[in-house]
């Protein structure tokens, strides 16, 4: 795998990042360790987890793997905090308050068996805690040596801009990454966030690059998800998610992905991942695999070199719908970027 810098930090990471949300929930520990071994053997250096994944078990599984291999000095480890962990969480065991983040980070370090993480990310915005408080708290983690760099996830444009401005005006540790949902089926971040990240030097770490499995081609218009699929194994979540994406636009995108995959002798997943990796400001694409076979297929995306024409075809068929105001108005008065997005 090639290495890319993480935002403006100067830290190098592999162009694919191993996401570990399934570890301890959908993936057994022995299988998770085999996936971690294979990822590193393929040149991967970047591993992402979160305290909330499997109520902390994902971090423990990664931690035991790190201990067995003798540490994480040659790897970049990222985790996240924000949400309550486990069923016994108390009212203050969540959010971005100084009290909760301090406890959350210390607990994550214990589970991972390390004295610091390379990237600590707030998992989502907290409407109850001023951004100044959690930005100062994160800066304190950096100064204490518990965290090397600071990132965020699932923020809107104004929220990310506020965090970036607070860091700059107060001389705090800067936000170096944004971890958003981004794939051919979900390109809404292009309305504001991608431009903001480019302006501020914030790297993108896309999660769900395969659209929850849709871009692998395993879901069909004439059959609801069943069996060993993420939507099939969770009927309550599956019905809602399936209905949301069981629309003509989805199948037009899948048809184009399938056509290009056939031309390359590749899988649909590999083409979808190659598209994400080719987008501006994407530092590393998070692979959320459940099995070793899925990892092996996903890593194969690095061999798929999409042409300018193929990228344009995928861009055109997947162009997001632009809300009329203010984006539609901006387009009408001559913003070439939004006009291009609108096809």
pLDDT on residue 239? 62
Provide the token pair at 177: 């990454």
| Local structure of residue 2 (DSSP, 8 states) | -
Please give the structure tokens belonging to residue 203: 């790297």
Q: List Cα–Cα distances, 182 to 11, 215, 259, 331, in angstroms.
A: 22, 12, 21, 22
Q: Which two tokens stand for residue 264?
A: 């390359």
Show the tokens assigned to 248.
Answer: 């003509």
Helices (H), 122-224: 131-143, 157-170, 193-200
What pLDDT does residue 25 have? 95
Helical H segments across 70-116, by residue range: 98-112
- Alpha-carbon Rg of the chain, whole angstroms? 20
Beta-strand runs (E) in the chain: 3-5, 12-14, 16-19, 46-48, 76-81, 117-122, 147-153, 175-179, 203-204, 285-287
Nearest to 189 by CA among 318, 10, 304: 318
Q: Domain extents for the chain?
A: 3-214+268-305
pLDDT of res. 330:
78
- The list of the chain residues with pLDDT below 50 reads none
Active site residues: 53
Two tokens at 275?
């598209």
| Residue 331: both structure tokens together | 């387009």
Mapped onto helix, strand or coil, the DSSP state of residue 177 is strand
Contact (Cβ atoms closer than 8 angstroms) between residue 277 and residue 15: yes
**Would you tell me how many other CB atoms lie within 10 Å of the CB of residue 330?**
15
Instruction: Return the ∠ at Cα 33 (arms to 28 and 38), rounded to 5°.
Output: 125
> Which alpha helices (DSSP H) does 206-328 contain, by range?
235-245, 248-264, 268-277, 292-299, 308-317
How high is the pLDDT of residue 254? 97
| CATH superfamily, region 3-214+268-305 | NADP-dependent oxidoreductase domain (3.20.20.100)
Longest dimension (CA), the chain: 59
pTM: 0.92
Q: Give the three-class secondary structure for 162.
A: helix
Whether 159 and 149 have beta carbons less than 8 Å apart is answered as no
Q: Are 176 and 151 in contact (CB under 8 A)?
A: yes
User: Per the structure block, which two tokens stand in for 154?
Assistant: 């699932």
Displacement of CA 80 from its chain's centroid (Å): 11
Total number of residues shown for the chain = 343
């Amino acid at each position: 795998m090639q290495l890319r810098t993480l935002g403006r930090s100067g830290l190098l990471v592999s162009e694919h990042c191993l996401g570990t949300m399934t570890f301890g929930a959908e993936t057994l520990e022995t299988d998770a360790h085999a996936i971690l071994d294979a990822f590193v053997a393929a040149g991967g250096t970047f591993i992402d987890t979160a305290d909330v994944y499997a109520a902390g078990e994902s971090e423990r599984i990664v931690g035991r793997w790190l201990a067995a291999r003798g540490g994480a000095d040659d790897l970049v480890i990222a985790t996240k905090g924000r949400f309550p962990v486990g069923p016994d969480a108390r009212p203050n065991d969540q959010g971005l308050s100084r009290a909760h983040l301090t406890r959350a980070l210390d607990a994550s370090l214990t589970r991972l068996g390390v004295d610091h993480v390379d990237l600590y990310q707030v998992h989502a915005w907290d409407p109850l805690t001023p951004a100044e408080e959690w930005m100062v708290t994160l800066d304190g983690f950096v100064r204490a040596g518990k965290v090397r760099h600071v990132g965020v996830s699932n923020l809107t444009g104004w929220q990310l801009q506020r965090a970036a401005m607070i860091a700059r005006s107060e001389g705090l540790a800067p936000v170096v990454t944004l971890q958003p949902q981004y794939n051919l089926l979900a390109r809404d971040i292009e309305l504001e966030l991608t431009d903001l990240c480019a302006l501020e030097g914030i790297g993108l770490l896309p999660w769900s690059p395969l659209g929850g499995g849709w871009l692998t081609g395993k879901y069909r218009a004439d059959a609801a998800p069943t069996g060993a699929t993420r939507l099939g194994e969770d009927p309550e979540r599956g019905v809602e998610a399936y209905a949301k994406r069981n629309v003509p636009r989805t199948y037009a995108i899948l048809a184009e992905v399938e056509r290009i995959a056939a031309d390359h002798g590749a899988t649909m997943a590999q083409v979808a991942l190659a598209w994400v990796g080719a987008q501006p400001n994407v530092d590393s694409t998070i692979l959320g695999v459940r099995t070793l076979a899925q990892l092996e297929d996903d890593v194969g995306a690095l061999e798929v070199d999409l042409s300018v024409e193929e990228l344009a075809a995928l861009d055109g068929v997947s162009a997001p719908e632009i809300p009329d105001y203010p984006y539609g108005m901006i387009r009408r008065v001559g913003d070439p970027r939004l006009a291009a997005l609108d096809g």
